[in-house]
Amino acid sequence: MINRLAIIGVGLIGGSLALALKKTGAVNEVVGYARSEDARKEALELGIIDRAATSVAEAVTHADMVFVAVPMGAMSAVFAEMAGHLNPEAIITDGGSAKAQVVEAARAALGDKFRQFVPGHPIAGTEKSGPSAAFATLYKEHRIVLTPVAETDAAATAMVKAMWQLTGAEVFEMDVEHHDTVLAATSHLPHVLAFNLVGMLAERDDCAEVLRYAAGGFRDFSRIASSDAVMWRDICLGNREAILALLEEYHQGMNKIEKAIREGDGDYLIEVFARAKKARDTRFADPNLIDNSEV
Ligand code: NAP
Distance 70 CA to ligand 1 centre (A): 4
Q: What is the mean pLDDT of residues 218-239?
A: 94
Q: What is the mean pLDDT of residues 34-48?
A: 98
Q: State the fold for domain 178-283.
A: 6-phosphogluconate dehydrogenase C-terminal fold (1.10.3660)
Confidence check: pLDDT of 292 > 60 = no
- Tell me what pLDDT residue 291 has: 65
Q: What is the mean pLDDT of residues 134-152?
A: 97
155-207 confidence digits (pLDDT tens): 999 999 999 999 999 999 999 999 999 999 999 999 999 999 999 999 999 98
- Tell me what pLDDT residue 293 has: 53
Q: State the fold for domain 2-174.
A: Rossmann fold (3.40.50)
What is the domain partition of the chain in residue ranges?
A: 2-174, 178-283
Q: What is the mean pLDDT of residues 117-141?
A: 96
Output the pTM of the full model.
0.94
Distance 75 CA to ligand 1 centre (A): 10
Own/partner long-range contacts of 230-237 (Cβ < 8 Å, ≥24 apart):
230/71, 230/73, 231/71, 231/72, 231/97, 231/129, 232/191, 232/192, 232/195, 233/73, 234/71, 234/72, 234/73, 234/74, 235/72, 235/97, 235/98, 235/188, 235/191, 236/188, 236/192, 237/73
Distance 224 CA to ligand 1 centre (A): 16
Pocket of ligand 1 (CB under 6 A): 9-14, 34-36, 39, 69-72, 74, 78, 95-97, 121-122, 125-126, 129-130, 133, 228, 231, 235, 295
Q: What is the mean pLDDT of residues 232-258?
A: 98
Averaged pLDDT of the chain = 95
As a whole number of angstroms, the distance between CA 223 and CA 226 comes to 6
